[in-house]
């Protein structure tokens, strides 16, 4: 399928689980026909149990529900937790549920990293928020800063069609050649416009990256990128540098208190290249940053699941919404400016790694290793990730006997 720019949408920014979960749960509670849910992480904690409850109630009143979880991100849901849903009719699938080897997960790469919910073809949610308590602000210092969007309007049908085409037995015919898709042009820029884009390992391998590149090339005044795991390729780095050199205010928000220490090490390898080109880098210090959002000038914005790192840009299955709307742009920009002013430290020369032969050598080696990492993964024994459906539990014999007796009028 190929999506086009859709007009007449209503798009609402949702910050953190505090805003996201109530909106999703309410939409599912009011569903009339169908719910499709895709997520990377679903934990069996307070938030995960709330999602379980709202899906269970919807299924029991006859709503068709299909859920897709990543086998790496959500490996520990109990059988009881899942079986209660499948017994109620929920179609429950895992993407690439690899077996453990000596207690360690083996399905490390090519993850299903999307976070999508579609309800009744009328409302959808896209973003970077998983279903876990760590996305709630009351979780503590490790609570994640993140974003999602609620969408109503014509683009919801595109999102649902995408979800349906990726169900087992619905896949489009694969071509023996790789056709490269160009970023969809917005030929009549206006308000309330949206374009659904995704990354897969077939014909849409770099669609999200190319929208970032086009955005940077078209920027006139300001770009703000907030990204949890920032380690893009040469093209995005060059585009950021070139935009800054022609006078665009390019601001990059990265993790200052990362959930994984290697994140800061990787990002700081790029500081000197970007700072000397005029890019303003801000480390978000309040808590771990998990967002994957950006704004440009006064209309363009994106929210989604894709980081700007080798995994998201070259291996994972991702989904973003590109938005052209002045009001949404202003809302997201105000939020990001608030982070910069309240919770960020700007990177200056004192924070840039000193230039030495050792640092340059290490930087070059690490940078090229990380950038070519996806190709190295391709050398590993190849396999095609599968969707594994969890079968409903077999009914106990006593329940079966009771049902037979009821059908026979109560005769033993």
Q: N- to C-terminal Cα distance for the chain?
A: 56
Report d(CA 149, CA 129) in Å as an integer: 10
**120 catalytic, yes or no?**
yes
**297 catalytic, yes or no?**
yes
Residue 406 to residues 162, 309, 403, 412, Cα–Cα distance (Å): 44, 59, 5, 9
CA 197 to chain centre: 12
- Whether 236 and 250 have beta carbons less than 8 Å apart is answered as no
**276 catalytic, yes or no?**
no
Backbone angles phi, psi at 99, to 5 degrees: -75, 155
The DSSP secondary structure of 251-272, one letter per residue, reads EEEEESS-SSHHHHHHHHTTHH
- Active-site residue, from 200, 206, 259, 297: 297
Instruction: Give the three-state DSSP class for 186.
Output: coil
- 294 forms beta bridges with 225, 302
- Whether 149 and 125 have beta carbons less than 8 Å apart is answered as yes
The DSSP secondary structure of 341-381, one letter per residue, reads HHHEEE--GGGSPPP-HHHHHHHHHHHHHHHHHHHHHHHSP
The DSSP secondary structure of 46-59, one letter per residue, reads HHHHHHHHHHHHHH
Find all residues with CB under 8 Å of 82, minimum gap 6, and list them: 92, 390
Instruction: Give the three-state DSSP class for 68.
Output: strand
- Active-site residue, from 115, 204, 211, 214: 115
- Active-site residue, from 292, 299, 324, 343: 292
3-state SS record for 395-409: CCHHHHHHHHHHHCC
Instruction: Give the three-state DSSP class for 318.
Output: strand
- Active-site residue, from 52, 70, 96, 120: 120
**408 catalytic, yes or no?**
no
Report d(CA 211, CA 206) in Å as an integer: 9
- Active-site residue, from 52, 144, 214, 290: 290
Computed from CA positions of residues 52, 229, 345, 215, in that sequence, does the dihedral angle turn out positive or negative? negative
- Whether 74 and 94 have beta carbons less than 8 Å apart is answered as yes
- Whether 100 and 106 have beta carbons less than 8 Å apart is answered as yes
- Active-site residue, from 52, 70, 96, 113: 113
**113 catalytic, yes or no?**
yes
Across 4-115, the runs of DSSP E, i.e. the strands, are 10-15, 34-39, 64-70, 91-95, 100-101, 104-105
List the catalytic residues. 113, 115, 120, 290, 292, 297
């Amino acid at each position: 399928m190929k999506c086009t720019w859709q007009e007449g949408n209503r798009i609402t920014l949702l910050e953190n689980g505090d805003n996201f979960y109530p909106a999703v749960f309410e939409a599912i509670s009011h569903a009339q026909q169908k719910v499709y849910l895709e997520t990377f992480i679903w934990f069996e904690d307070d938030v995960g149990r709330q999602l379980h409850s709202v899906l269970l109630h919807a299924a029991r009143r006859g709503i068709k529900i299909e859920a897709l979880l990543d086998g790496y991100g959500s490996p520990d849901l109990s059988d009881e937790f899942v079986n209660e849903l499948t017994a109620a009719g929920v179609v429950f699938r895992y993407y690439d549920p690899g077996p453990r080897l000596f207690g360690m997960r083996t399905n490390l790469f090519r993850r299903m990293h999307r976070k999508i919910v579609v309800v009744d073809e009328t409302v959808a949610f896209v973003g970077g928020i998983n279903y876990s308590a760590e996305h709630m602000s009351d979780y503590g210092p490790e609570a994640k800063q993140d974003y999602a969007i609620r969408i109503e309007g014509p683009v919801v049908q595109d999102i649902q069609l995408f979800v349906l085409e990726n169900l087992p037995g619905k896949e489009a015919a694969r071509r023996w050649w790789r056709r490269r898709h160009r970023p969809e042009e917005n030929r009549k820029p206006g308000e309330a416009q949206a374009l659904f884009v995704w990354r897969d390992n077939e014909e849409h391998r770099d669609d999200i990256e190319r929208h970032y590149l086009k955005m940077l090339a078209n920027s006139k005044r300001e770009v703000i990128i907030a990204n949890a795991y920032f380690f893009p390729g040469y093209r995005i780095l060059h585009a950021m540098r070139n935009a800054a050199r022609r006078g665009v205010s390019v601001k990059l928000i990265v993790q200052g208190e990362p959930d994984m220490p290697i994140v800061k090490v990787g990002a700081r390898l790029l500081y000197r290249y970007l700072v000397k080109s005029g890019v303003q880098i801000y480390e978000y210090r309040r808590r771990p940053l998990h967002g994957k959002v950006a704004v440009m000038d006064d209309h363009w914005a994106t929210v989604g699941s894709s980081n700007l790192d080798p995994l998201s840009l070259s291996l994972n299955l991702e989904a973003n919404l590109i938005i052209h709307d002045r009001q949404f742009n202003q809302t997201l920009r105000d939020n990001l400016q608030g982070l910069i002013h309240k919770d960020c430290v700007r990177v200056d020369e004192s924070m840039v790694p000193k230039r030495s032969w050792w640092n340059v050598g290490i930087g070059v080696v690490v940078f090229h290793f990380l950038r070519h990492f996806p190709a190295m993964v391709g050398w590993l024994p190849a396999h095609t990730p599968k969707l594994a459906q969890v079968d409903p539990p077999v009914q106990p014999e006593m329940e079966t006997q009771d049902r037979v007796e009821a059908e026979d009028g109560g005769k033993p």
